[in-house]
Amino acid sequence: MSRKSELEEYFTPVQPRVESRFSENAMREIHEGRAQYAPPSKAAPQRAQRYRRPVQPQPVEDADEEAEDEEEADVKPRKKKHRFLRFLLKLVFFVLLLAALAGGSLLLLAKMPRSTQPIGTRKDGCATILLAGTDMGGERTDTIMLLFLDTEEQTMRLLSIPRDTMVNRDNPVPKINGAYGANGSGAKGMDALMGYTADLIGYRPDGYMLIDLACFEELVDAMGGVTYDVPMDMQYEDPVQDLVIDLRQGRQHLNGEQSMWLVRFRSGYAAADLERVNVQRDFLSAAMKQWVSVWKLPRLPFAAKLVWENTTSDLDLLEMAWIAKAVVLCRGHLENDTLPGYGDMVNGGSYYIESIYDAAALLDARYNPYQTAIVADSLHPYGR
């Protein structure tokens, strides 16, 4: 063999290994036509082996890597399953964003309600709204509360006025809950109720909202219910009103109908109407805390429409927006009080009599939207 052939043999590029009964050199000689069909020389391959380029080792997948590949294969379809969930989350975010933009535009234009009969210079950011709810007949306002809002201090308070509170002894039935129906109901009835309330608190509230209790059930359902700790077992039947109340004591999630049972029940309380007033107030406080949440935003447009269509009020839309803004600023935290007084029998009837000195002190400290002080002489519970 010539030196050139020998060098060519030594520097022959490495070919992929092929399993065969012939050696590598023998296969080459067969290909080049030089095969002599003799046993291949062992020296040549050994010498050539010294000059072969090292073969790049191929990675070998171990059991752990194979397991990782299997896990990756499992994750891919799982990602596909979550695509719809991600779409829903994006959709919810988009709806919340639109609601926030629309609500934000309205809140920028919001204006604070103001009474047309002020008693002095007003405190900044303070307003009061009379809230009332009629019974099933629609003639009596069995729920009467004064809402005090202070956006400067970010405080919100609710003063309950018992329905049996005596107001004007010249009336045949001088109880405040009868003032609405006795004066023609509707806007006229509420105007009269505002006047009687002014006698009790020393000033005329900045506005009123009379909410139909039929709307109350729908409103609670529209906002997803309220979680509340029912103070006692409540069972009551009244065929005349087609009313059946059946609630068990304990913390539970109430729907609209159950919430109505709760705020109407009073026969089982030792203090009767006074205890019902406390429960109504506590329930409203719990509802406001639970409903002032970003997750409740998608429900608000329908709830607002429901309230607007079932409310008699002297407030316009921008004043309503100010109230909503104030409630949000207060984060739904509500402080509660009851008009100071005591129960007494007058001419054979059961009444709640205002304690004017205690009432004046409470009203001036916690429910006065004016810089002018409220004193006992400011209160005229039996008319002027």
Can you tell me the distance from the alpha carbon of 29 to that of 8, in angstroms, rounded to the nearest whole number? Answer: 13
For residue range 190-233, what is the model confidence (pLDDT) as tens digits?
999 999 999 999 999 999 999 877 788 888 998 999 999 999 99
What phi, psi does 155 have (nearest 5°)?
A: -125, 150
> Contact at 8 Å (CB) between 154 and 280?
no
Percent of the chain scoring above 70 in pLDDT: 69
The pLDDT, as a whole number, for residue 276 is: 82
Provide the pLDDT confidence category of residue 138 given band limits of 50, 70 and 90.
Answer: confident
Any idea where the domains of the chain sit in the sequence?
3-51, 63-107, 108-378
Q: What phi, psi does 254 have (nearest 5°)?
A: -100, 140
Q: What is the three-class DSSP state of 368?
A: coil
Exposure string (b/e) for 288-315, b if CB count within 10 Å is 16 or more?
Answer: bebbbeeeebeebeebbebbeebbbbbb
- DSSP-derived letter for residue 25 is H
- Weakest-pLDDT range from 80-94, 213-227, 258-272, 301-315: 80-94
- In the chain, what percentage of residues exceed pLDDT 90? 35
Q: How far apart are CA 89 and CA 112, in angstroms?
A: 36
Q: What's the confidence (pLDDT) of residue 37?
A: 53
Tokens 């604070």 -> residue: 112
Q: How many CA atoms lie within 13 A of 157 on its CB side?
A: 18
Choose the CATH number for 108-378 among 1.10.357.10, 3.60.110.10, 3.40.630.190, 3.90.1300.10.
3.40.630.190
On the question of pLDDT at 7 being above 50, the answer is no
For residue 132, what are the β-bridge partners? 144, 210
Mutual angle of helices 3-10 and 43-51, in 10-degree steps = 60
Contact 103, 301 (CB under 8 A): no
At 148-203, the pLDDT tens digits run: 999 999 999 999 999 899 998 676 668 999 889 888 888 999 999 999 999 999 99
Q: Is-contact 378 368, C-beta < 8 A? A: no
- How far apart (Å, rounded) are the C-alpha atoms in residues 276 and 269? 8
Is residue 160 within 8 A of residue 207, CB to CB? The reply is: no
Q: Tally Cβ neighbours within 10 Å of residue 157.
A: 18
Nearest to 181 by CA among 148, 136, 214, 119: 136
pLDDT at 1: 53
- Which amino acid appears at position 54 of this protein? P
Task: Compute the distance between CA of residue 266 and CA of residue 262 in angstroms, rounded to an integer.
Answer: 9
Rounded-to-integer distance, Cα 16 and Cα 55, Å: 9
Residue 88 in this model has a pLDDT that exceeds 50:
yes
Q: What is the pLDDT of residues 244-289, one digit of tens each?
A: 899 999 999 999 999 989 988 887 776 667 788 888 888 988 888 8
> What are the angstrom distances between the C-alpha of 96 and each of 76, 137, 299?
30, 39, 10
Alpha carbon 244 to its chain's center: 30
What residues does 165 pair with on adjacent strands? 352
11-65 pLDDT per residue, tens: 455 555 545 555 666 666 666 666 555 555 554 444 444 445 555 555 555 555 5
Residues 266/272, Cβ–Cβ less than 8 Å: yes
